[in-house]
Amino acid sequence: MPLGTLDRTPPPFFKQGMSALTKLVFFSAFALFLMVADTRFALTQPLRAAMATVLHPVERMLLQPVVAWEVVRDYFGGVAQARDRETTALKQLADQAERAARVDPLTRENERLRELLALQPQFSVRTQAAEVLYEAADPYTRKLVIDRGATQGVVAASPVVDASGVLGQVTRVYPLASEVTLLVDKDAAIPVLNVRTQARAAAYGDPTSATAGAGMELRFLAGNADIEPGDLLQTSGVDGVYPPGLPVARVVTVDRRVGSAFAKVTLAPIARLDSARHVLVLEPLNLQLPPRPQDPAASAAEAPRRKSGARR
């Protein structure tokens, strides 16, 4: 048989229909059409919801081992954390008990010494709890607003403290709220006492040093003053406002400048100024102090006026 008469077509078993490229283009266009139609008209949403409903029990069943593992891990992790916290709490309780055991004899000894020296008993400071509402909107000041005001007995100049130390002072009182100026405000000032040297000074707010981890400074301190980084400063109580012994700040840096009579001392407040939520408002000590004695010269000048008024 001549070669030209041979049938060269493949058998039906090997016929593949459309080419692979044609199938790729067709199904890609069909998939793109389905995605656009589902996005615009949500055609497959009922089918997707039905499949999700049917497969939900299966998914929950398959997730049970993972959930069980997480529960077991959280349980043992919680037990370990609870034990660590219990150990820490017991240590703190033992330390506080030891401190309390030392405080009671010291308190009684202090009372006996004051009686022996015929000194006036120490004042009792009345306090009330308050919650921080928000921070003042003025970007040039550092002030907080608390939820206690004149209705609750808050007065201007009342010291405000948190669990760590002095936070600031009430500078404006409203009927149901009060404005507290923080220690790092540029207009804030507080008398302090160096615990190590027992030297008194005045601390002022310094917002320019807040970025360096400070926020306060000691002004008009002699260049040769005995002060070192790490010294703890407390309220001195000489201003008649703050009770003595409240933690205020800790010395960060001491810059003894050449050619200057004063040293630049930066301080870091002890109180948590940026995260305080609950505070205590103290009553100013000047409300319990006796009135200041009048100047004799002023009294002598007022005497003739009173006499002339009485003659008239």
Domains of the chain in start order, with CATH, are 23-113 (no CATH), 127-287 (2.40.10.340)
pTM attached to this predicted model: 0.58
Query: Model confidence at 168, in pLDDT bands (50, 70, 90)?
Result: very high
Distance CA 311, CA 309 (A): 6
Query: What average pLDDT is seen over the chain?
Result: 82
Residue with tokens 């506080």: 96
Instruction: Give 101-132 pLDDT, tens digit per residue.
Output: 777 787 788 777 877 776 655 556 788 899 99
Q: Which distant-in-sequence residues (6+ apart) come within 8 Å of 165 by Cβ?
A: 246, 247, 248, 249, 269, 270, 271
Q: Check: CB of residue 146 under 8 Å from CB of residue 130.
A: yes
Beta strands in 37-185 (DSSP E): 127-135, 143-146, 159-161, 166-173, 178-182
Q: 180: closest CA among 271, 252, 104?
A: 271
pLDDT score recorded for residue 37 = 79
Q: What percent of the chain has pLDDT over 90?
A: 21
Q: Cα separations (Å) of 210 from 142, 185, 233, 268?
A: 11, 10, 18, 8
Residue 146, pLDDT > 70, answer yes
Distance CA 97, CA 70 (A): 39
Residue type, 199: A
Distance CA 152, CA 167 (A): 20
